[in-house]
Chains A and B, each alone.
Chain A
Amino acid sequence: MASGKKQGYSEADGILLTLVLILAVFGLTMLFSTSEYNGRVRFGDSAYYFKKQLFAMSLGLLTMYLVAGMDYHFFIRLAPAAYVVSLGLSAAVLVVGQEINGSRRWLNLGPLSFQPSEFAKVAVILFLVWQIQHTKSSTSGLWFMGRTLASLLPVVGLVGSNNLSTAIIILGIGVVLIFASNSRYACFLGIGAAGVAFAVLFLAAESYRLERLAIWRDPEKYEKGFQTIQGLYAIGSGGLFGRGLGSSIQKLGFVPEAQNDMIFSIICEELGLTGALILILIFGLLIWRLCVIATQCMDLAGTLICTGIMAHMAIQVILNIAVVTNTIPNTGITLPFVSYGGTSGVFLMGEMGLALSVSSHKQQLFTYTKG
């Protein structure tokens, strides 16, 4: 294997890299436009959010560069440790976390703050791949599926206790990876049905979740539908070509925390339907490219890593846009590369680095076998 390493090395995927860079630049531009008002009003500095995000994205770029140059198997070996660390951090944040906007999701590290749940997503992808790679039994067995899902429960529980959305994303990634590693189809219909049933029970168990459903169906009637309705106003007032970059009015305090989860609505308002569709297309291309890298990889571990990253990206983009357009009930999910969030930015770029690493090592197994 070691001998094949050099031979199996090829150029990293240029298309993926280009798409990531486009998204990063676009994201920073929109973040600056969206957060300018809030920064000016709250901190007297138009670039307050932008500067922090720029720093995070630079750090992310560096991370991506370093990770892309390394063999991804190195990270798989680290996976069990990373999983344990993420459990520890997720537990720690519940105790000593910093509360922002009513949620304890951040760990303070001097001047920086760190969101363990973002780390947990990467750790889960790697840990699952590690499990699938190292299991001796068939990955098609029910026992394996059950065991693998069960291994996720601790982190899902810890993260989900204060961040339901991220827990859903982690579960989603898990299901996609197990699905991909399993040759069967029919039993996943059963899992799907069980998932729906669980969701219904889960919603019915707490009345406030049902209230969310009611708000979703008619947001104008409820005070808590404020954010949703303001997002819809922003989206609707964009029209075909938007008000123009920087000209959103809804970002002027109408959409609360416009630079966070609801940033897509401001993109719609400023760039119109055209801009919004192009952005979705770029995300679509990114997901497609991750799929291509996954399927071109001869090594199951590489395939699964890319599949996990693809699942992560797809779930977050789809859920975010679905929430902002009030297609599904409101839940807090950020838009990758665009929404404000340093930890998320760094780890997303890291994941892209991992995918680039897979792309540049895709022929490894092939050449190894040949050689």
Chain B
Amino acid sequence: MKKSLTFHRKKVWLVLSICSILLLGLMIRLVCLMGFLSDHYYRKAEDLHERERDIKAERGKILDAAGKVLADNRTVCTISVIHNQIKEPEKVIRVLAEKLSMDPGQVRKQVEKVSSIERIRTNVDKEIGDQIRECQLEGVKVDEDYKRWYPYGDLASKVLGFTGGDNQGIIGLEVKYEDVLRGENGKILTVTDARGVELTDKGEKRKEPVAGQDLRISLDASIQEYVQQAAQKVMEEKQADRVSILLMNPQNGEIYACVNVPEFDLNQPFELNTEQDTSGLSQQEKQDLLNQMWRNPCLNDTYEPGSTFKIITMAAGLEEGVVKEEDSFYCPGYKLVDDRRIHCANRRGHGSQNFVQGAENSCNPVFIEVGLRLGVDNYYKYFKQFGLLKKTGIDLPGEAGTIMHQKNKMGNVELATVSFGQSFQITPIQLAATVSGIINGGKRVTPHFAVAVQSPDGRNIKELSYPVEQGILSEATSRRVRNILEKVVSEGSGKNAKIEGYSIGGKTATSQTLPRSANRYISSFLGFAPAEEPIVLGLCIIHNPQGMYYGGTIAAPVIRRIFENVLPYLGIECSYSLDK
């Protein structure tokens, strides 16, 4: 038997001391983890435990100038299944396949898939959703949310745009004002175990969704409807490819109507608006056709404006002082520029005429002469000053820029063709905005639709403002341009736009598209009223009309018909005849 000695005891105490120090160290480590790092790990653990379900926010409405709802929401349902809560899989498969008219095999695949939650179908009508809910199937979830609904169908389809599966804007105002309209989705947070089963005793946290704000636009559904009918009528009569009509207020840039026929049904945006058979096409080809259909030609596409552009040449010439109304010109039917003979539309020539008559006749040699008198530098200066080189800033996505000769590559021939609107391209909205600035006294306005953002109850209203550039043209020159353009309608080539009792200004255009040999034309007319102080400016562009194709003959009457209705509607009194 051995005795335990003092050194044995000392050593045991030493071992205890070491152990105590180690335990103390671990305690400090725990204080770090559970005290200082606690929040970090707690948050991470919460992220892990919580399953999130979104509650869709109601998207803001789009209202027209009169307060009519152009884009609304409808309640629809999302049907999902939670795999490990399903008690009767066969019944679930049968009911869902039947109510949703889906392939039972597809439903079976989703029902039998081991996942925490499986979405069977979205955007189900509320009625069907209610029917499914009434079946009280365990493990089947019916969540309500909102789907965009456009009460006017195809009205202003390329302006308003539509939304996708997640209610996000895809084209048009819907995407441009996504931030305003979208709102903030809410959330339901539930705690689950590692298999994804919700723990009912832990309760759920809800974050309520915030509805999007309403957008009020200057477009007026009544005007738009009427303009659309007019466009439809002329497209059918002239068997044209398409017709675009813009109606805006040249004083402030507000757009009253923007029609591009054929329009498409906003409630079925993924169906083509033509009778075309798409069965043989690839996915990519179909998508290309849809993208084409969704384009807004008023701002996404450029065209050769032709004679309507003479307004710009006229304004620049008068402002620079290189031409006066009474200056006389002679048109032999063509003009020689350097070694090139540039024809007038009237090959026999307009003979002797002053500048106003040249405008009335839309005589190319007159405007070529004005362009040459200005010279490239001056012409380019006004081109820039009028804002033609930059985009208009319209509140729609995808605006195309102006395609213009570079200044250093612009010779006399190019200058001459530009003077009467050929050899370059601009968008219709650019033409309308530029002419607006020229005839409104020299203010470059920003064409736009949205005028205010307001809360769903209509109380909190935030008016939107857009940049205005003052002094692009003198007031005096602006008045002279208006006078000449009034003469064009009352006495010249735009006489088909004349309305008894109203003073109307305007300019016709007929341009041949490239290649010239195809004999395809774009006929257009730009008009405004009242000529003294324009409140409305209309631009009608007819692409590839059959038969008669002169702008003055086919586009001017369209604007006349529209003005006849819209001017009284806008409260512009018929006063001219009384003065007479």
Binding site for B on A (CB under 8 A): 1, 37, 41, 132-133, 176, 179-183, 232-240, 249-250, 252-254, 268, 272-273, 276-277, 280, 283-284, 287-288, 291, 294-295, 297-304, 306-307, 310-311, 314, 317-318, 321-322, 325, 327, 365
A236 pairs with B26, CB closer than 8 A:
no
Q: Is the interface of A mostly helix, strand, loop or mixed?
A: helix
Report yes or no: B9 in contact with A299, Cβ–Cβ below 8 A.
no
Out of A41, A176, A238, A318, which one reaches B26, CB within 8 Å?
A318
Which of B33-41, B440-448, B504-512, B531-539 lies at the interface with chain A?
Answer: B33-41
Q: How far is the CA of A240 from the CA of B33 in the complex (A)?
A: 10
A268 touching B13 in the complex, CB below 8 Å, given contacts A280-B23, A297-B4, A318-B23:
no
Q: Within residues 455 to 474 of chain B, which ones have a CB less than 8 A from any CB in chain A?
A: none
Is there an interface contact between A277 and B194, defined as CB atoms closer than 8 Å? no
Task: Say yes or no: A300 contacts B8, CB within 8 Å.
Answer: yes
A-B complex: 6 closest residue pairs judged by Cβ atoms: A236-B41, A253-B194, A252-B193, A300-B2, A233-B45, A303-B4
In B24-57, the 8 Å CB interface with A consists of 25-27, 29-31, 33-35, 37-38, 40-42, 44-46, 48-49
Q: Which chain B residues border A300 with CB–CB below 8 Å?
A: 1-5, 8
Q: Which residue of B lies closest to A269 (CB)?
A: B45
> Residue on A with the closest CB to B9?
A295
Determine if A249 and B34 form an interchain contact, defined as CB atoms under 8 angstroms apart: no
B36 CB to nearest A CB, Å? 10
Are B27 and A253 touching (Cβ within 8 A)? Answer: no
By the criterion CB–CB under 8 Å, are B30 and A235 in contact? yes
**The stretch of B14-22, B257-265, B386-394, B426-434 that contacts the partner chain:** B14-22
* Chain B 177-225 interface residues, beta-carbon cutoff 8 Å to A: 191, 193-195, 199, 202
- The reply to whether B4 and A236 form a contact with Cβ atoms under 8 Å apart is no
Q: Which among A181, A249, A298 is the interface contact of B191 at CB below 8 angstroms?
A: A249
Closest to A41 in B: B195
Quote the shortest CB–CB distance from A28 to chain B (angstroms): 23
B-chain residues with CB within 8 Å of residue A325 when the two chains form the complex = 26, 29-30, 33
Chain A CB within 8 A of B12 CB: yes
Establish whether residues A307 and B30, one from each chain, have CB atoms under 8 Å apart when the complex forms: no
Give the chain B neighbours of A310 by CB distance below 8 A: 12, 15-16, 19
- A249–B45 CB distance below 8 A: yes
Check A133/B38 contact, CB under 8 A, given A233-B48, A284-B20, A327-B29.
no
CB of B109 within 8 A of chain A? Answer: no
> Closest residue to A73 on the B side, CB-wise?
B1
A299 to chain B: which residues have CB within 8 Å?
A: 1-4
Contact, CB under 8 Å: A291 / B42: no
Question: Does B31 lie within 8 Å of A273, measured CB to CB?
Answer: yes
Contacts of B40 in A (CB 8 A): 236
The verdict on A250 contacting B35 (CB below 8 Å), with A179-B11, A236-B40 known, is no
Residues on A with beta carbons closer than 8 Å to the beta carbon of B44? 233, 236
Residue of A nearest to B36 (CB): A236
Cβ-defined contact, B3 with A37, below 8 A: no
Residue on A with the closest CB to B192?
A252
Q: Decide: B12 and A294 in contact? CB cutoff 8 A.
A: yes
* A322–B3 alpha-carbon span in the complex (Å): 36
Residues of B contacting A233 in the complex (Cβ-Cβ under 8 angstroms): 41, 44-45, 48
Interface centre among B12, B25, B193, by most chain A C-beta atoms within 10 angstroms, is B12
Which residues of chain A are near B30, meaning CB under 8 Å?
Answer: 235, 268, 273, 276-277, 280, 321, 325
Residues of chain A within 8 A of B19, CB atoms compared: 284, 287, 310, 314, 318
Question: In whole Å, how far is B429's beta carbon from the nearest beta carbon of chain A?
Answer: 54
Contact B16 A254 (CB under 8 A): no
30 contacts between A and B (CB under 8 A): A182-B11, A232-B33, A232-B41, A233-B41, A233-B44, A235-B33, A236-B37, A236-B41, A236-B44, A240-B34, A249-B45, A249-B49, A268-B30, A280-B23, A284-B20, A287-B23, A288-B16, A291-B13, A294-B9, A299-B3, A300-B1, A303-B4, A303-B9, A303-B12, A304-B8, A306-B12, A310-B19, A317-B23, A318-B26, A325-B30
Interface residues of B (CB under 8 A from A): 1-5, 7-9, 11-13, 15-16, 19-20, 22-23, 25-27, 29-31, 33-35, 37-38, 40-42, 44-46, 48-49, 191, 193-195, 199, 202
Picked from A180, A240, A288, the residue with its CB within 8 Å of the CB of B11 is A180
A268 CA to B32 CA, complexed, in Å: 13
Residues from chain A with Cβ under 8 Å of B193 in the complex: 37, 249, 252-254
Chain A proximity of B21: nearest CB distance (Å): 10
Chain B residue contacts of A284, Cβ below 8 A: 19-20, 23
A302 neighbours in B (Cβ, 8 Å)? 4
> With a CB–CB cut-off of 8 A, which chain B residues contact A236?
33-34, 37-38, 40-42, 44-45
Are B13 and A295 within 8 A (Cβ)?
yes
B25: which A residues are within 8 A, CB to CB? 327
Most A CB atoms within 10 A — which of B3, B34, B37? B34
Q: How far, in whole Å, are A311 and B14 apart by their CA atoms in the complex? A: 12
B38's partner among A237, A287, A291, A327 (CB-CB below 8 A) is A237
B546 to chain A, nearest CB (A): 70
Residue in A240, A253, A295 whose Cβ sees the most chain B Cβ within 10 Å: A295
Question: Given A233-B48, A303-B8, A365-B3, 15 more contacts at CB 8 Å?
Answer: A37-B193, A180-B11, A232-B33, A250-B45, A276-B30, A277-B30, A283-B23, A287-B16, A287-B20, A295-B9, A317-B23, A318-B26, A322-B26, A327-B25, A327-B26
Q: Do the beta carbons of A280 and B27 come within 8 Å of each other?
A: yes
Q: How far is the CB of B111 from chain A (nearest CB, A)?
A: 22
Q: Which of B9, B25, B37 has the most A CB atoms < 10 Å from its CB?
A: B9
A291-B15 contact, Cβ under 8 Å, with A237-B42, A298-B4:
yes
Across-interface contacts of A321 in B (CB, < 8 A): 26, 30
Most A CB within 10 A of own CB, among B23, B25, B33, B44: B33
In the complex, A41 Cα to B9 Cα: how many Å?
A: 51
Give A125 to B531 CA distance when docked, in angstroms.
Answer: 112
Q: Assuming the A-B contacts A291-B12, A295-B13, A303-B8, are A237 and B33 also in contact, with contact meaning beta carbons closer than 8 angstroms in the complex?
A: no
Q: Which residues of A contact B9 (CB under 8 A)?
A: 294-295, 303
- Which residue of the partner chain B has the closest CB to A265? B33
**Which A residues touch B5, using CB under 8 A?**
183, 300
- In the complex, residue of chain A having the shortest beta-carbon distance to the beta carbon of B20: A284
Chain A, Cβ-Cβ closest to B197: A252
- Once the chains are docked, how many angstroms separate the CA of A234 from the CA of B37? 12
Give Cα distance in the complex from A181 to B7, angstroms.
Answer: 8
Task: Give the complex CA separation of A253 and B192 in angstroms.
Answer: 10
**Which residue in B4, B38, B46, B202 is a CB contact (below 8 Å) of A239?**
B38
Q: Are B15 and A307 in contact (CB under 8 A)?
A: yes
Cβ of B45 and Cβ of A365 under 8 Å apart? no
CB-defined contacts of B199 to chain A, threshold 8 Å = 249, 252
Can you name the residue of chain A whose Cβ is closest to the Cβ of B41?
Answer: A236
Contacts of B49 in A (CB 8 A): 249, 254
Across-interface contacts of A272 in B (CB, < 8 A): 34
The answer on a CB contact under 8 Å between B1 and A291 is no
B4 surroundings in chain A (CB, below 8 A) = 297-300, 302-304
Q: Which residues of A sit under 8 angstroms from B38, Cβ to Cβ?
A: 236-240
Given A180-B11, A300-B8, does the pair A238, B29 have CB atoms closer than 8 Å?
A: no
* Inter-chain contacts of B194 with A (CB < 8 A): 252-254
Is the beta-carbon distance between B23 and A298 smaller than 8 angstroms? no
In whole angstroms, how far apart are the Cα atoms of A179 and B15 in the complex?
A: 9
Q: Are A273 and B35 in contact (CB under 8 A)?
A: yes
| Complex CA–CA separation, A327 to B30 (angstroms) | 10
Q: How long is the Cα–Cα vector from A302 to B12 in the complex, in angstroms?
A: 12
